Structure 1
């Protein structure tokens, strides 16, 4: 029996789930053991990621103009990045990020590899396969955000406003889920999905996501030496 879009989304997310031990930074934050300087670096890196991803999603939406369900999903992602960017500013301020620090900050290559690959996908990837690969990656990202949001309140005394960026991603968006399901179903019906490409895209996204967190963890550990 042919699989439905929902089944494919769920199995792909399961297959591309990261190793539980791959992220060393989030457990530090969860214990309140990560320094505020590292949290500030997280905020500054996310500013770069959000701006880059928003443009990538808009470009993917434009490329998928003849696939309305797919285009709608990428457009919704781009709109979400706008909202996330607004919420990020309160977190950055709570971490002590000001204009001088922003101007002086040099982005870390290991953190910016992820949005660079998303930009590559925007230029070269098949939009239908990119939907599945990104959707799978977002599941892990949402879990990290939920853990961080709880830890910021418990250990760092951050306000709800300062945690709003992580709250935004912590829970699945039902409307976005429905749009993703419609996009994948349309791709299945049209026979334009390659699961080999999905696995390739997803594996690289998972690796670059892990690199993002590992780079910040190395920065944190380096400051302790």
Structure 2
């Protein structure tokens, strides 16, 4: 897993609940629905990869349901959520996912997305543990991160099936994966720079 300064701070309990963690919740409240719509669009574009993207979209819906408890535990109010101005560096990731939904071959999008799963899942596992240990968050408040931290054998199976059923331009697929991972890093570095 790539070194992530913000996740490392959270892991040590050195971030503030009502600023840094609240900002994380607010940014994710924009990422989750955007990614869900992109995955649904990808599912419509490809018969062979539709089960994979549908499963991803369903997962985003479930994650979105769990995000509210995390935001509440961070002290985020409805007024804050409604008035939040998203940080461009944090929203570059879902913007690129939307670009993939419109422009990439579905198999290339499958490849790019799955390349980032272990990194994102590792961050979520670290954060979930830290929220319980250092911040006293309940299981309900950690459920958003627990959801992504758990491996999904079914999702892996669907990804393999989608890739096996399609021609893959490996050069483009690797390029998209690198870009997506760069935008993932930008999300965290932006959040790190913007919060005390």
In structure 2, how many angstroms separate the alpha carbons of the residues matched to 1:60 and 1:150? 33
* Aligned with residue 34 of structure 1, among 9, 15, 18: 15
TM-score, normalised by the number of residues in structure 1: 0.85
Say whether 1:144 aligns with 2:89. Answer: no
Say whether 1:174 aligns with 2:153. Answer: yes
In structure 2, how many angstroms separate the alpha carbons of the residues matched to 1:138 and 1:107? 23
Aligned equivalent of 1:196: 171
TM-score, normalised by the number of residues in structure 2: 0.97
In structure 1, how many angstroms separate the alpha carbons of the residues matched to 2:112 and 2:83? 34
In structure 2, how many angstroms separate the alpha carbons of the residues matched to 1:180 and 1:206? 18
Runs of 4+, deviation exceeding 2 Å:
none
User: How far is 1:171 from its partner?
Assistant: 1.6
Which structure is larger by alpha-carbon Rg, 1 or 2? 1
* Aligned with residue 71 of structure 1, among 50, 68, 86: 50
User: How far is 1:183 from its partner?
Assistant: 1.1
Aligned equivalent of 2:71: 92
In structure 2, how many angstroms separate the alpha carbons of the residues matched to 1:31 and 1:141? 18
Unaligned runs of 5+ in 2: none
**Stretch moving more, 141-150 or 34-43:** 34-43
Aligned equivalent of 2:81: 102
In structure 2, how many angstroms separate the alpha carbons of the residues matched to 1:114 and 1:104? 21
* Aligned with residue 48 of structure 1, among 30, 36, 53: 30
Per-residue CA shift, 1:115-135, capped at 9, x if unaligned?
000000000011001101100
* Aligned with residue 185 of structure 2, among 210, 218, 221: 210
User: Number of matched residues?
Assistant: 195
Unaligned runs of 5+ in 1: 1-17
